[in-house]
Amino acid sequence: MNTREYFLPQSVNEATQLLAKHGPFMLVMAGGTIAMPLINEGISFPQKVMGLRRAGLSYVTKPNGKITIGAMSTLTQMLDLKEIPILQEAAHQVGGWAIRNMGTVGGNLFAPPPAGDFAAALMALDAQLKLVSTAGARIISLTDFYTGFMTTALSPGELVTEIQVPVPTGKMAYLKYGRKHANTPAVVTVAAQIELDGEGVTNSRIALNAVGPHPIRASKAEEILSGSPLNPATINMAASAAAEECEPFSDAIATEWYRRKMVEVYVRRTLTKITDRR
Amino acid sequence: MASKIVTFTLNGRRIEVLVKPLTTVQTLLRDQLGLTSTKAGCKQGGCGSCTVLVNGDPMMSCLLPVEDVQGQDVTTLEGLTPTPGLHIIQEVFYENFAVQCGYCTPGMVMVSKALLDHNPRPTREEIIDALTGNYCRCTGYEPIIQAIEEAARRMNGN
């Protein structure tokens, strides 16, 4: 390890100033559950690292119609979010207890697939991100945040400081399929929120993870559901569309072929779970 | 290289250490302080053998920079073990054959301690859930689960 400097800013202000000063050559680390293994293994050897554990970003507040989560809130903290059960489920299915005590909501947004399942759940909930730099702050939707594999819409000097989740109005379900019961990378993860007016779907958000370069929306599946009744026929159509439009990859967990098959199965099961909850 | 002085509580004692940037708690404990109960397994946060308690919550010391525990309360297996003798959790691990090669044991004991502190009467499912991040390649887990059930009974006085 040859890290020459480790910064531990005590506020967001100090963090953005450090980022402005040291620029893109400084690794920004949240809980360290992704960065530290790479550093320990000698795969990554950043000269400068900034840790955010003391930057005052570990909070959950509930202003009107919204839940705001500080980017350094741990996944363990998410287990208390009774208002949004799919966030509780998604958090609980990440790692084991010690990892959930370290891994953060903000850090999970940057976890390359097949990690990053919590971000998929946030995507189904239409989460917005607050990005802060020395120049000011802006809000961007999580769906627009990702631009490619390990690339995002973050400008140089910007930090994700907060995740804002509108209190959900639809019915939700979350299914993660891995090779083990727990503490497992995903073959595929599906998070969905469906708003219904009687039988018909008025609005739907389906997010997938581990089957693309980052958490993705299954927009063709969403289009099929929109305006249709949520019945087995439309669910099957949406599931096939999702399997067709996703971009799975092969790794040690599953092949591209298998992941695609499982997208169909798990989108169907997730949507069926929502109909069962009516 | 900007080494820093970090002050924190280790096993009930306030200590001051000088660490190189990004030194992990695991490296500090094992290589600088000679406290080798905290194991170095995968160094990926994947095996749980390096688990320590930070303010009573389990964390992977291999992923935790020392500077992040400034002012915090860190407990390792050395801090749990009374002199002389064994902690109840260590006793029940011994009696229930929950130790084979022993490499996972310090992590298992620390998680068990945190679990029983948070939840003195855990169900079997809650025990399994707490142990999810700790791998044991010898026992098949059953003796460990039974040991924790036994520890809960003894610590609750029955």
Measured distance CA(B110)–CA(B43) in Å, rounded: 17
The answer on A222 and A268 residing in a single domain is yes
Structural domain span for residue A33: 5-51
pLDDT band at B119 (very low <50, low <70, confident <90, very high): very high
The answer on A67 and A15 residing in a single domain is no
CB-nearest to B45 from A1, A37, A53 is A37
Residue A151 has pLDDT above 70, yes or no: yes
CA distances from A224 to A53, A199, A232, B22, B60 (A): 43, 15, 13, 50, 45
Rounded to a whole number of angstroms, the CA Rg of chain B reads: 16
CA distances from A164 to A54, A61, A87, A105, B33 (A): 21, 10, 13, 11, 43
- Structure confidence at residue A113 (pLDDT): 96
pLDDT band at B1 (very low <50, low <70, confident <90, very high): low
Residue B140 has pLDDT above 80, yes or no: yes
The answer on A236 and A268 residing in a single domain is yes
pTM: 0.96
Measured distance CA(A52)–CA(A11) in Å, rounded: 9
Measured distance CA(A249)–CA(A260) in Å, rounded: 9
How many other C-beta atoms are found inside a 10 Å radius of the C-beta of residue A213?
15
CB-nearest to B21 from A5, A36, A102 is A5
- Structure confidence at residue A255 (pLDDT): 98
Measured distance CA(B106)–CA(B115) in Å, rounded: 14
> What are the backbone angles phi and psi of residue B95, rounded to the nearest 5°?
-70, -30
The answer on A198 and A135 residing in a single domain is no
CA distance B132 to chain A (A): 5
Look at residues A131, A166, A201 and tell me which one is the last residue of a structural domain: A166
The answer on A217 and A239 residing in a single domain is yes
- Find the CATH number of the domain harbouring A75: 3.30.465.10
Closest A-chain CA to B66? A6
Element (H, E) at A6: strand A5-7
- List A residues 217-246 in contact with B (Cβ-Cβ < 8 A): none
The answer on A191 and A268 residing in a single domain is yes
Closest A-chain CA to B130? A97
Query: Going along chain B, which residue ranges are E strands?
Result: 4-10, 13-19, 51-54, 57-60, 73-75
Residue whose pair of structure tokens reads 């902690």 in the numeric block? B87
Task: Give the bridge partners for A131, in sequence order.
Answer: A138, A160
The answer on A137 and A90 residing in a single domain is yes
Query: B63 and A41: CB-CB below 8 Å?
Result: no
Look at residues A151, A166, A181 and tell me which one is the last residue of a structural domain: A166
Measured distance CA(B11)–CA(B25) in Å, rounded: 13
The answer on A226 and A155 residing in a single domain is no
Query: A102 and B130: CB-CB below 8 Å?
Result: no
Q: Chain B residues with CB inside 8 Å of A33's CB?
A: 45, 60, 63
Q: Which class for B111: exposed (0-12), middle (13-18), buried (19 or more C-beta within 10 A)? A: buried
Whether residue A168 has a cis bond before it, omega within 30° of 0: no
Q: DSSP for A111-165, please give it.
A: PPTTS-HHHHHHHHTT-EEEEEETTEEEEEEHHHHEEETTEESPPTT-EEEEEEE
Contacts of B96 (CB under 8 A, 6+ apart): B143, B144, B146, B147, B150
Closest B-chain CA to A101? B59
The answer on A33 and A104 residing in a single domain is no
- Find the CATH number of the domain harbouring A238: 3.30.390.50
Query: A6 and B51: CB-CB below 8 Å?
Result: no
- Structure confidence at residue A23 (pLDDT): 85
Mutate to test the interface with B, among A33, A57, A97 (most CBs of B within 10 A): A97
Number of domains observed in the structure of chain A: 3
Q: How large is the average pLDDT for residues A208-222?
A: 98
Look at residues A166, A186, A201 and tell me which one is the last residue of a structural domain: A166
- Tell me whether A36 touches chain B (CB under 8 Å): yes
Measured distance CA(B17)–CA(B1) in Å, rounded: 16
User: Minimal CA–CA distance to A71: which of A145, A5, A6?
Assistant: A145
The answer on A44 and A75 residing in a single domain is no
CA distance A71 to chain B (A): 17
Q: B142-155 vs B88-95: helix axis angle to the nearest 10?
A: 140
Percent of chain A with pLDDT over 70: 99
| List of domains in chain B | 4-76 (3.10.20.30), 88-155 (1.10.150.120)
The answer on A102 and A21 residing in a single domain is no
- Find the CATH number of the domain harbouring A19: 3.30.43.10
- The complex scores an ipTM of 0.97
- Structure confidence at residue A2 (pLDDT): 80
Q: How large is the average pLDDT for residues A177-203?
A: 94
The answer on A120 and A144 residing in a single domain is yes
Query: B130 and A97: CB-CB below 8 Å?
Result: yes
- Tell me whether A5 touches chain B (CB under 8 Å): yes
pLDDT band at B157 (very low <50, low <70, confident <90, very high): confident
- Tell me whether A97 touches chain B (CB under 8 Å): yes
Query: B133 and A53: CB-CB below 8 Å?
Result: no
Q: How large is the average pLDDT for residues B143-154?
A: 98
Mutate to test the interface with B, among A2, A29, A33, A36 (most CBs of B within 10 A): A36
Contacts of A205 (CB under 8 A, 6+ apart): A123, A124, A125, A126, A170, A192, A193, A194, A217, A222
